Structure 1
Amino acid sequence: MNSLPRLVATDIDGTLVRSDRTISARTIATLERVTASGVPVVLVTGRPIRWLHQVYEQLSAPIPAVCANGAVIYDPDTDTPLHTAPMEPEILSRIAERLRAEIPGVVLAVEIEDSRHMLHEQEWPVRYESGLPTIRVVGSPEEITSAPAVKMLARSGSEDADGFTALVNGALKGLAEATHSSYSGLVEISAVGVTKAAGLEWYCRRHGVDAADVIAFGDMPNDLPMLTWVGRPVAMANAHPAVLEIAADTALTNDEDGVAAYLEKVFDL
């Protein structure tokens, strides 16, 4: 990238947001100045739509988002999904069948209704949304695959995240995409070809921006497709080793306002 970026794309967790789940005043101000200069900022996240309010409540103005690892492009001004790429029940059933056959004890959940709602099996650990009407336990194993879903989630005991993701990818080869964005052993499954790169490409094409003119920030394996697609891929210093390996540059950690510090230099803010 030999000129200023025409679009800034950033992951949320472990990247824009600090460990205490807050966004610093410095980061908020920097994003405002970048946007005021005419360069749009886009959130590119594994989060579902229903988790974005935690970010928007901290910003001075909502920012468009590529959600669910590229399966949903969301316009916060109209509260509308502009584009979705769900998996149909038939595909979900095949995915669940393979996982249950090859990974004994696997527990499943799905993000449905453009990721505004979740269905999960009884054994699924509901950690942050217990009791909410948007989260519901299914009555049978078949119900988990009964509606189109933008993402399926899989857990299996205390499996290592990288190893478990490789196991899931092996089981689903040619049927779906599997990645992870945490070290908790949670694997995120999307339709074939649906990644953060695909979602960001859809958004950029709509706005006439080429990949070469995009700078992106990320920290986890689900960011790898996006970071290999853009013109300037930047890893956070706290990033997963696979992300650090492919990035063109490294920013400070998320707790050190790495995105803000890097953008301040790029845009001379």
Structure 2
Amino acid sequence: MNDRSPQLPFRLVASDIDGTLIHEDGTLGASTLDVIHALPVPLVLVTGRPVRWLRQLYDQMPEPVPAVCANGAVVYDPHTDEVLRADPLSVDLLLDVTKRLRDAVPDIALAVEVDEGRRFWYEEAWPLRWETDTDLVRVLASPEELTSVPAVKLLARSERYEPDEFAELVSRTLAGFAETTHSSKSALVEISAAGVTKAAGLAWLCERHGIQADEVIAFGDMPNDIPMLTWAGHSVAMGNAHPAVRAVADEIGPTNDEDGVATYLRGVFRL
């Protein structure tokens, strides 16, 4: 990453992807592409996505940029295809957490991101909707296989609850044992090892490059962005953001479909 000149207000831009940087159809707007190309400071993607889901975005960008993936569990360098840091849930923790979840929610469906987020394993009850690469994605042969290796993220679904209700239930069930968050409009909760958040992953990357929290501007739209938005020196919630995100952000920007990140950054950096 490159440093900025002293007169610029921030040394790094951190942005969530889905619901923030890209449109609802998964595309980067022309204005956003222009701003990414013109930014005088580094851009870092900070996302709940696994590493294997970055290619769809990188293929649209002038060049790939570093990414904090899996809600902070993985820090990825696309130029070398190297995971710089991984902080997974251990096998012992997975065993404990999954037992607590199954006891609390009998109909729960579980899945794991393994191999630093390059592979996805899921139970038969999991509603797999779009991933079809059987080399990277597969159904588990048995419930025990779910906890057989460390995972950078555990995912939980239920058909019985509304999204925020389910997130609250899982949070109470795992309080003190693991980090829980959500970024979906369905009853899907994302679970990481204790202390693993978007803020923690971004802070690690920033420290590596001598960048302080108050030199970072961050953008997001869903509850999994809240740790990052409260850590950064300045935070912007998208116009389409979840109410909990709007409540903690320093400012509310335009929506993602209005190229809100680009619009805001044009003003900050006078692009």
TM-score (norm 2): 0.96
> Counterpart in 2 of 1:12?
17
CA RMSD between the two structures: 1.0
Which residue is 2:61 aligned to?
Answer: 59
- Aligned positions, number: 265
> What is the Cα deviation at residue 258 of structure 1?
0.2
Distance (whole Å) between structure 2 residues aligned to residue 112 and residue 75 of structure 1: 18
Matches of 2:162 and 2:194 in 1, distance apart?
24
Aligned to 1:208: 210
Spell out the pairing of 1:233-248 with structure 2 (5 A cutoff): 233-248=235-250
CA distance in 2, matches of 1:132, 1:26: 36
Whole-Å Cα distance in 2 between the matches of residues 55 and 131 of structure 1? 18
Deviation at 1:243, TM superposition (A): 0.5
Q: Aligned partner of 1:13: which letter? A: D
- Superposition map of 1:69-218 within 5 A: 69-218=71-220
Distance in 1 (CA, whole Å) between partners of 2:133 and 2:198 is 30
Per the TM alignment, residue 130 of structure 1 is displaced from its structure 2 partner at its CA by: 2.7
Task: Name stretches of at least 5 consecutive residues in structure 1 with no aligned partner.
Answer: none
- Given candidates 231, 250, 259, the residue that maps to 2:233 is 231
Deviations 1:174-220 (A, max 9, x none): 11011000111110000000000000000000010000110000000
* Distance in 1, Cα, partners of 2:132 & 2:232: 37
C-alpha contact (below 8 Å) 1:158/1:184 kept by paired residues: no
Amino acid at match of 1:223: D
Mapped to 1, the partners of 2:13 and 2:132 lie a distance apart of 34
Q: Distance in 2 between matches of 1:232 and 1:183?
A: 26
Aligned residue among 254, 257, 265 for 1:255: 257
Aligned pairs for 1:41-56 within 5 A? 41-56=43-58
Q: Is the 8 A contact 1:178 1:189 kept in 2?
A: yes
**Alpha-carbon contact 1:152-1:188 (below 8 Å) kept:** yes
CA distance in 2, matches of 1:259, 1:60: 17
Match of 2:38 in 1: 33
Q: Is the 8 A contact 2:8 2:269 kept in 1?
A: no
Distance 1:204 1:161 in 2: 32
Q: Secondary structure of 1:119's partner?
A: strand
Shift of 1:238: 0.3
Q: Retained in 1: the 8 A contact 2:10–2:215?
A: yes
Cα separation, 2, equivalents of 1:83 and 1:164 = 30
Structure 1 length-normalised TM: 0.97
Conservation of the 8 A alpha-carbon contact between 1:12 and 1:45 = yes
Q: Deviations over 1:145-183 (max 9, x none)?
A: 100100000001152111111100111111101100011
Letter in 1 for 2:264: Y
Structure 2: runs of 5+ lacking an equivalent = 1-6
Give how far 1:3 is off: 5.9
| Cα distance in 2 for residues equivalent to 1:21 and 1:245 | 26
Please give the secondary structure, in 1, of the residue aligned with 2:138: strand
Q: Distance in 2 between matches of 1:142 and 1:257?
A: 44
